[in-house]
Structure 1
């Protein structure tokens, strides 16, 4: 668990389609539209108030895409004048690569790293992993640093970060996804540190569009279904337009390890007790502290002191179906306090991919009040539900079961041993109790069930007055997220139910009733005896008593009012000067309510055994705490684009662009962002560009007030041994704004000598000071060991417990830099049209600094839930010849280091992770002689069924064998379906 502190959202493949590369994308979209009449043009990333009809002809299927421009600015009308790299990906290309979900296609592009999705559900803390939602992550800088727009306006939020779950957007209406990847805060909003992602809709669709598909993995699991319908029509003699869409999609969770050899290996990283490197990455890793039926880990005298080396610790409890009793606990090799290789220890597992059920509905109506004034209203409603297994419940380490002498569930053979030892003259070995480490595999697993419902209403206008355009809107959005952990053990009840005696009438009963938890007046149900000695021993009645469901309900509200004005008031010798200015006011509020047991402090009065957990919350995991907060921001900006040179002896063109924005936060005060950039075209077909910007981001509601929760697990000490901890996460109201300095520079080529060929190369350098984020428990422990006073202030060690706070902090600095490359060619081949596209991303630096400790360079780290490969690439070939189309894509993830903080041969035996290639292919057939042009398609993702590399990481004492933030964990997946329109 390495980089939670940079959570989820982004887009990318940093190609400047403000450059000649844009023309290639336009041609590709034109060909696709001609064949399938599903408009997928590349277009301008700017609020629709300023370019209200750039895609107006898309519904008719006859648009001249040469008029479509991509600028990444609120004032530029010529994409070639944009100094900021912009990426455009047509919806059709995303569907060819990943038909299930637009976000799945985006996540394949090099600039996407560390995004959350169903495959990462449960992989990291639910508060930051998105819980199965699709939150995009640009450059692995985090969702909170990427501004997501829907048709140029803020998309409805779905989490306390203010980020949008892409699942909730009307995907059938998406024409393309535009991304500005640098210097965006001044023009678009002070939160756009990493960039801006704009989902552009086909607002003027006329007719009906339908899509139906189903998919399944070649292992027979992970089935999916999707059906979508969208339609549009004009009214009032063409002055009005109505647009409606609806979509339903379902994907089943994947929990079976069978057929996935990499998942069955039992890979983990454990202390090395055989000499050599401190830790080893090994397979067949099991727990040494627990068995499925329970292992005796400690034997205690009647006074509670432990008997060191007691021979009973070499035994475990047999399966209840075989009669119970004691069995020898077979020791593995390379044994440590927590783990061993081989042997009889238990092995924990979790879902490979979470299940996701989503639906959304969208409506839009527009009407021309006059030739130059249009009003419109929009409504969107989305619902998603993610379900996945987190892990089996467990009791070991500090929460091990305490079984006392006389417990009637103790097997007869063990009770005889206890009686014999307690009756002899030697009292030093008398047994009063023993601790049992158990993986509760016969309990139903702890599962997460996350329901998100989001809606937004929006109204606005667009007007033109001479050379000026004015647009404004007001929106109100609400998201309600219910997060439930089912089958979650309740500490006090587990302890009470395991401590049983035989009553006078011969029945088995709990020795004591736990004190009722929660508000006054709450009555706990009667205690039910729990037999945990042997797999299969617990009764259903006992499980019903000790297990519960803890629930947190988030309500997030956002109100936005904005106005944007742009025009060309005068000209220079080189052309029109464009000026834009505007203002926005935004208020966001969040409130979280939780169940009574999550907020109550456990009370073990009268209950023996499990009484050292401490802290707030009665459940084994979760225990979210209530929050309530509000944040208001008022912003104003001005932007100008000034041409300085046109068709002269010293160059073809020179343009500069600058912007300034002031944002006033009621928490964090006033901040100013700015950018300055320019484009120089020395000769036709060659453009040089550069941008320098200052971007500032204040903490969001989640970071300020944060949903606090309690978790537990183990951290690795500097000597390689492990130690158990309890962690508490949450917000920090004392956070101050973070400041980012961004520099980009690039070149775009479209040589006349090579028709159809385009190339762009862009360099970026981003430095974020005072970066807001939370370290993982392991990172906090490591940084404290390295001397960081800030980290050590969040670590508290007592003789019975290690407590680590993972709350939000202002860290020192995050620095990242790299290069993005795109090459493309399009032309006629063998009677058809062939287009190729290569996107490459090179990461040169990714360094995090924490106060008081040396910076850590995470460049190239691809293990430990990090996503920083030095090279990533996507190469695609698309060929159309009449009704037949073929698309093939290769995805590449470069080899990397497993853990940047480890040294191979010293602190780990193997610190390398090999590269991976994945192949995706789609074949499609279009009935061109049919008016609706139905299209049948079959897509195979991970065509050659490549396993992910083994790069294990620990969630407490549970290992996942690979990094789902980077690698495919599903395997070959086949989707078939059809699309048509009327």
Structure 2
């Protein structure tokens, strides 16, 4: 739908307060006071423009919204200092960080996604001008990176279910990007950013051409833009110096087999030569010094290697901190082209269309490859590089000729990294017009295609490594020098020929397509005393297809430290009909300036899961002009997506940290599961699961994560949600220049999702199997969660099964509050000679009452509110406040981003022994803008003004969450916008 909006002059627009009929939160004011795109009543008219109505199929009087709608302008995004749209939106209390510049490691795609209310990025819809954008993955997510910032006029955020209006997936809300309006001329914008340490340099540039033609019957617009963001390694920040102390080290280590242990006498004799008088356990990993001698990794006995440049002795153990190797900010290079047109082909009939093409490359990196995940490589006793002292120990085993397992990190080969290239195109055509005067119709069709080409560089091929290790000459006949994994100096001196032999670039391809056809008809049916009764009818068809072709070695799990996946394909067809009605009941009466009700319903028929119904009812009441009360109830649905239905067994990582700071593998002797009150029962359970009895009392897990296997499920049924919101918006009456026109909005939301489609989280599986939350009081190995765990012959936790199932529920509720105050300087007696000058303060506050998770049907809900773990920070309080000065010519402001203190997630998963939580987090940003003349505007700012450092998140593998907290530090930006 379209509506006509009047726009007053600049200085009047800046002085307007947020309309109580459209906003519950003014995100634009949070980001930059002057940039709020407000939905105002009719006023002084200089320019008539057409905008897209969000949240309704019907043009309601005064564009009244019964669901809270936050509107953010492109100026707000610019003044946040970010070149990534999602980074600006994630500052809103209603958003939880999902896919960002700091996620997507291990070939995760590097996509930018949005997550409303923390309910998942696949439970909110992302639209462009009210229509669906191309999908970027099989889980139904939209990559915000595909949107060229230059075309964005504003962003509307609807918080609360909207399935009846927009269709499946809109359980937590809708994010609708609106393009800029047609214009004549040229617009150019450039922005440069630099962090204080000089290792992050972001830049973006765009140019947009607009023109009317055919005597103003037609309009066209073309945009091209470019964005470049570098990657940033953990080694560049001191925080990561000792983060994630991995036992996979460059020296390599011998891993004893519990079923074929060496004799104690042999170990004692070897270490006695080094002057070691303490007893070295037979089950401990032994590392290799450069002189051929051995050392004990756990305890660092006789260790002669480095303790810097990526190596460290932590708690007396030899480790390689992984945090230094990880790229915690992904690099991005994006090129976009966008075009749109409209043309009045006949009176009352307009043809329109648009195209979009995006070519973006995101690079993700996760450090050196490990001897990890899947079938491990082994070293035969015939290998010529085995040190003499190790041969002595191997010869004492019951089976002296058996090959042995080794742990190592391929320090002689460059870090594995992925180029994730996305080529996204969308083509759309439509016709719209008037019918019988006041009725509107719109026919629309589009096709989009997302091609994802993934290149994994420096992939270590297991079968090639095994051939080198098995060769009698150490592999010299296969490549010059062969492969010697014993000691740092040997591991780093791999010849170029052997590097080429051992590695490859693994190429995988993913293709998603989406075809849409939609028709809509709306208009008044009958004139009632309070206004017209209006209806809207919609019918649509959508088809999504998916095809994934992995590299053959990835599919065979033949790549070191990278989980693989089989090829897959699938498709979903959908037919829908929907209707909406708006009924005005009273207008202009005492205690009822306006009273109206509305309703909507949608019937959706999926080729995979059958039909579902969603519906909505709402009411709005203005007892007086200054006060509006609104509320709505919605039954929202989300059908299972392609990934949940068709995903083949796909490898992932289950991160559980290093005990005792984190849970780790509960069978690990350092874990709180072993040291707590149920330690004896956990010990017996671990033995029943396959940990050998002769190593159980010294068993340790060598790293911070293990493999997981995600599987699709064709037996899934749609999720169902009941969403409820009630709110009030007060515009303070009176003519006082100090408080007149101040708006205060308060909205309560309540979302309950049943039959949630999810894989059981790996940490939850471990907690429930080992009774860390009371789920397995008998410590039975037959427990359903214990059955999801697989251990190898030595007891090492090898795999956690993560099938998609209709499990329990998600419930959350809370309150959003905003106070929006401004005052004209001339009106309050502080005239500065500029009638447009004003000061403003805008606190925006989010408070979450509950965030309840029910893991399985019938199980108790657990409240995760005010807890933090990697990928899901759920603070009870989150606030954003801007204070500043603005005028037509100049503006300056200070933005305060606040996130309350949180407990670690272990306060819920292991309440008897939780890890330490996260303190309150405060960031301050300074921004300003100057209008040089009618054509040129300059902007500049400082983000993280006081250079706030990273807090520790105990349950995170990397000891923090760089998607939530700023790892870059104090940064500066400057930008210029020009119009000709």
| Range into which the TM-score falls when normalised by the shorter chain | 0.7 to 0.9
- Structure 1 residue 877: Cα displacement: 2.6
Q: Which residue of 2 aligns with 1:620?
A: 561
Q: Which residue of 1 aligns with 2:842?
A: 837
Of the three residues 667, 671, 674, the one matched with 1:719 is: 674
SS in 2 for 1:699: coil
- Structure 1 residue 923: Cα displacement: 2.2
Q: Which residue of 1 aligns with 2:807?
A: 811
**Alpha-carbon contact 1:210-1:230 (below 8 Å) kept:** yes
**Alpha-carbon contact 2:135-2:143 (below 8 Å) kept:** yes
Q: Which residue of 1 aligns with 2:527?
A: 571
**Alpha-carbon contact 1:251-1:355 (below 8 Å) kept:** yes
SS in 2 for 1:381: strand
Of the three residues 842, 847, 853, the one matched with 1:848 is: 853
Where do 5+ consecutive residues of structure 1 fail to align?
Answer: 1-14, 34-39, 45-53, 269-285, 503-507, 512-524, 601-615
1:205 aligns with 2:205: no
Cα deviation code 1:446-500 (max 9, x no counterpart): 2122111110000001201211011120000000011232222222222222234
1:438 aligns with 2:432: no
Cα deviation code 1:409-451 (max 9, x no counterpart): 23xxx416736995xxx88796866543323333211212211
SS in 2 for 1:821: strand
- Structure 1 residue 528: Cα displacement: 7.7
1:357 aligns with 2:333: yes
- Structure 1 residue 581: Cα displacement: 0.9
Residue pairs, 1:607-686, within 5 angstroms:
617-686=558-627
TM-score by length of 1: 0.82
Mark the CA change 1:563 to 1:527 in structure 2 (over 3 Å): closer, same or farther: farther
Q: Which residue of 2 aligns with 1:940?
A: 942
Of the three residues 332, 348, 352, the one matched with 2:322 is: 348
After superposing the two structures, state which structure 1 stretch, 694-703 or 20-29, moved more.
20-29
After superposing the two structures, state which structure 1 stretch, 874-883 or 477-486, moved more.
874-883
Q: Which residue of 2 aligns with 1:458?
A: 428
Q: Which residue of 2 aligns with 1:415?
A: 388
Cα deviation code 1:503-558 (max 9, x no counterpart): xxxxx5379xxxxxxxxxxxxx8898311111224333222222223332111010
CA distance in 2, matches of 1:758, 1:196: 24
- Structure 1 residue 32: Cα displacement: 5.3
TM-score by length of 2: 0.82
SS in 2 for 1:395: coil
Q: Which residue of 1 aligns with 2:923?
A: 918
CA distance in 2, matches of 1:498, 1:579: 74
Of structures 1 and 2, the one with the larger relative CO (CA 8 A, separation 6+) is 1
**Alpha-carbon contact 1:584-1:635 (below 8 Å) kept:** yes
CA distance in 2, matches of 1:69, 1:704: 34
1:894 aligns with 2:900: yes
Mark the CA change 1:225 to 1:901 in structure 2 (over 3 Å): closer, same or farther: same
1:710 aligns with 2:686: no
CA distance in 1, matches of 2:632, 2:753: 16
Cα deviation code 1:183-242 (max 9, x no counterpart): 311111122111111101113122111111222221211222211011100000110101
Of the three residues 501, 508, 528, the one matched with 1:552 is: 508
Residue pairs, 1:512-531, within 5 angstroms:
529-531=482-484
SS in 2 for 1:544: helix
**Alpha-carbon contact 2:619-2:632 (below 8 Å) kept:** yes
1:107 aligns with 2:60: no
1:479 aligns with 2:473: no
CA distance in 2, matches of 1:656, 1:395: 63
Residue pairs, 1:111-150, within 5 angstroms:
111-122=94-105, 131-150=109-128
Mark the CA change 1:76 to 1:771 in structure 2 (over 3 Å): closer, same or farther: same
**Alpha-carbon contact 1:658-1:677 (below 8 Å) kept:** yes
SS in 2 for 1:589: strand
**Alpha-carbon contact 1:348-1:439 (below 8 Å) kept:** no
Q: Which residue of 1 aligns with 2:717?
A: 736
**Alpha-carbon contact 2:134-2:142 (below 8 Å) kept:** yes
1:746 aligns with 2:727: yes
CA distance in 2, matches of 1:639, 1:20: 19
Mark the CA change 1:162 to 1:923 in structure 2 (over 3 Å): closer, same or farther: same
**Alpha-carbon contact 2:32-2:80 (below 8 Å) kept:** no
SS in 1 for 2:95: coil
**Alpha-carbon contact 2:23-2:68 (below 8 Å) kept:** no
Mark the CA change 1:680 to 1:214 in structure 2 (over 3 Å): closer, same or farther: same
CA distance in 2, matches of 1:23, 1:914: 26
- Structure 1 residue 920: Cα displacement: 1.4
Residue pairs, 1:157-172, within 5 angstroms:
157-172=135-150
After superposing the two structures, state which structure 1 stretch, 540-549 or 863-872, moved more.
540-549
The root-mean-square deviation of aligned C-alpha atoms, in Å, is 3.4
Mark the CA change 1:484 to 1:71 in structure 2 (over 3 Å): closer, same or farther: closer
1:261 aligns with 2:244: no
CA distance in 2, matches of 1:132, 1:457: 25
CA distance in 2, matches of 1:576, 1:143: 38
- Structure 1 residue 765: Cα displacement: 0.8
Where do 5+ consecutive residues of structure 2 fail to align?
Answer: 1-16, 271-283, 302-311, 657-663, 667-672, 676-698, 777-781
Of the three residues 362, 369, 377, the one matched with 1:393 is: 369
Mark the CA change 1:455 to 1:899 in structure 2 (over 3 Å): closer, same or farther: same
CA distance in 2, matches of 1:27, 1:435: 59
After superposing the two structures, state which structure 1 stretch, 785-794 or 696-705, moved more.
785-794
1:189 aligns with 2:174: no
Cα deviation code 1:62-91 (max 9, x no counterpart): 4369x9796621114224643211111111
- Structure 1 residue 565: Cα displacement: 1.1
